[in-house]
A and B are shown apart, each in its own frame.
Chain A
C-alpha cells in the first residue's frame, strides 16, 4: 500500500510528466487557454492513460515478452493507443452522449500526446507490476490535469495584457510563465522521501 501511495504521489508532484519530464507539452501549451478546456483535456488524458496502461501492460507481459518480440513495443503500443482512443470515443458517443459532448473534442488530440505513449513505455521499463502501473498512470494523468489547470489560471492573466513587451507576447511569455510554474513544482523535490522515508 505504501509503495502505491509513493508511486501515486511522486508521479503527481515530483516527477510531474509535463513540468519536469516535458511530456505532453503540445496540449499543455495548446489547450490551456481556458480553465474549463484545460480540465476537460486533463480528465480525458487521465482516463486514456489508465485504460491504455491496463491494455498495454498485459500485451507486453503476456504477448510480446512471451513470444520474444519485445522490439515491436513502439509499433504495438502506438497502434493500441490510437485504436483505444477511437474506441473510447465511439463508446462515449453511443452510451454517454453528454460526456462525449464535453470530452469528445479532446479525444482525437490524445493519440499524438506523447505523455500517453511515454507513460505506457515507462511503466514497462520501470518494471512495475500491473497494479503499480495503473497507479503510476493515474498519478501521471492527475499530475497532467493539475499542471494544465494551474497553468490555465496563470494564462488567463497573461492573455491580452498590454504591459508585456511586444516581442514577448504570445508564445514566449507563455513559456516563461511555464518556467515559473515548473519552478514551483521543483519545490516538491524530496517531499516523498521525507513523508514516507
Chain B
C-alpha cells in the first residue's frame, strides 16, 4: 500500500513526466524558461494550483454531475489561480510582474485539466494530492532543466548571477523563441533515448492524455485519438 502511494508520487517525475512524456502544458514550458527564477516560480505556482485543484476535484467527484464537469473544473481551477495571483501580487510583486500574463494562463494549462480528467475524478483525495505533488515536481524540474540550459548557455548567467568564464561562448539565440523550441525538441529526444522508447505513446494512453481531451467530444467515448481520422468521425458525432 505504502509503495503504491510512493509510486503515484514518483510517477510524475520521470515515467509520466507531464511535459516531456505526456507533452502537456507546452506553452508555459517554452515561454517562462528564459530564466531560472521565472521557471521555478512558474513551476511552484502551477504545483500549488495543481495540488489544490486535484484535491478539490477528488473531494467533489461524486457531487459534480458528469455532464457539466468540465465547466465546473474550469471554475474551480480559475478560482485557485486567482488566489495564487493575488498572493503573489501581495507578497512577491517582482515575480508577479515577471510571469505576467502566463500566471493567469495557468487556468488553461493542459496539465491541470488533464490531471483532473485522468486522475483526480477517479481517485481519493490523498492519492490525488500525491499525484498533484508528483506532477507538479515533474513540471518544476523540467522547467528548471530547460531554463538551466537556456540561461546558462544563452545568457552566461545562473539565476541572474553572471558566469564570467562562459561569457565568450554564450549563444543568445537560446534565450529567444527559436532556441526554446530547439531545446525542447532535443530534451524530448533525450528522454526517448533514456527510456529507450518505452514511454507511453499518445495513442496507447488514449484520449485522456490529449491536451484537448477536456473539450473533445470524442474523448468521452474512449475511442483512441489519431489525428485526422478522429476529426472526421468527430464531425458525425457533433
Q: Indicate if the CB atoms of A105 and B105 lie closer than 8 Å.
A: no
Contacts of A172 in B (CB 8 A): 185-186, 188-189, 192
Contacts of B74 in A (CB 8 A): 78-79, 82
Among A26, A105, A112, A182, contact of B177 (Cβ-Cβ < 8 Å): A182
Contacts of B214 in A (CB 8 A): 111-112
Q: Indicate if the CB atoms of A30 and B211 lie closer than 8 Å.
A: yes
Q: Indicate if the CB atoms of B78 and A74 lie closer than 8 Å.
A: yes
Contacts of A105 in B (CB 8 A): 231, 234-235, 238
Q: Indicate if the CB atoms of A26 and B211 lie closer than 8 Å.
A: yes
Q: Which of A75, A113, A185 has the most CB of B within 10 A?
A: A75
Contacts of B224 in A (CB 8 A): none
Contacts of A100 in B (CB 8 A): 238
Contact with A along B183-217 (1 / 0, CB 8 A): 01110110011000100000000000011101111
Number of interface residues, chain B, beta carbon within 8 A: 52
Among A74, A113, A114, contact of B82 (Cβ-Cβ < 8 Å): A74
Known: A23-B27, A26-B211, A109-B216. A75 touches B75 (CB 8 A): yes
Contacts of A33 in B (CB 8 A): 227-228
Contacts of B104 in A (CB 8 A): 73-74, 117, 121
Q: Indicate if the CB atoms of A34 and B228 lie closer than 8 Å.
A: yes
Number of interface residues, chain A, beta carbon within 8 A: 55
The yes or no answer to B133 lying at the interface (CB within 8 A) is no
Binds A, one of B35-43, B57-65, B107-115, B148-156: B107-115
Q: Which of B212-238 contact A (CB under 8 A)?
A: 212, 214-217, 227-228, 231, 234-235, 238
Q: Taking the nearest CB of chain A, how far is it from the CB of B46, in angstroms? A: 13
Q: Indicate if the CB atoms of A167 and B189 lie closer than 8 Å.
A: yes
* Interchain CA distance A78-B178 in the complex, whole Å: 29
Contacts of A182 in B (CB 8 A): 177-178, 181
* Interchain CA distance A23-B217 in the complex, whole Å: 23
Q: Indicate if the CB atoms of A109 and B181 lie closer than 8 Å.
A: no
Q: Indicate if the CB atoms of A71 and B184 lie closer than 8 Å.
A: no
The yes or no answer to B85 lying at the interface (CB within 8 A) is yes
Q: Indicate if the CB atoms of B215 and A112 lie closer than 8 Å.
A: yes
Q: Indicate if the CB atoms of A121 and B101 lie closer than 8 Å.
A: yes
The yes or no answer to A54 lying at the interface (CB within 8 A) is no
9 tightest A-B contacts by CB?
A: A175-B185, A179-B181, A172-B189, A22-B31, A183-B178, A179-B182, A22-B30, A108-B215, A75-B78
Q: What are 29 pairs between A and B in contact, CB < 8 Å?
A: A20-B177, A22-B28, A22-B31, A23-B27, A23-B31, A23-B105, A25-B30, A26-B27, A26-B211, A71-B86, A75-B75, A75-B78, A79-B75, A109-B212, A109-B216, A111-B108, A112-B108, A114-B108, A117-B107, A167-B192, A172-B185, A175-B182, A175-B188, A176-B182, A176-B185, A179-B179, A179-B185, A183-B178, A185-B177
Add 10 more A-B contacts to A100-B238, A176-B181 (CB < 8 A). Answer: A24-B27, A33-B228, A74-B78, A75-B75, A79-B75, A110-B215, A114-B27, A117-B105, A172-B189, A175-B188
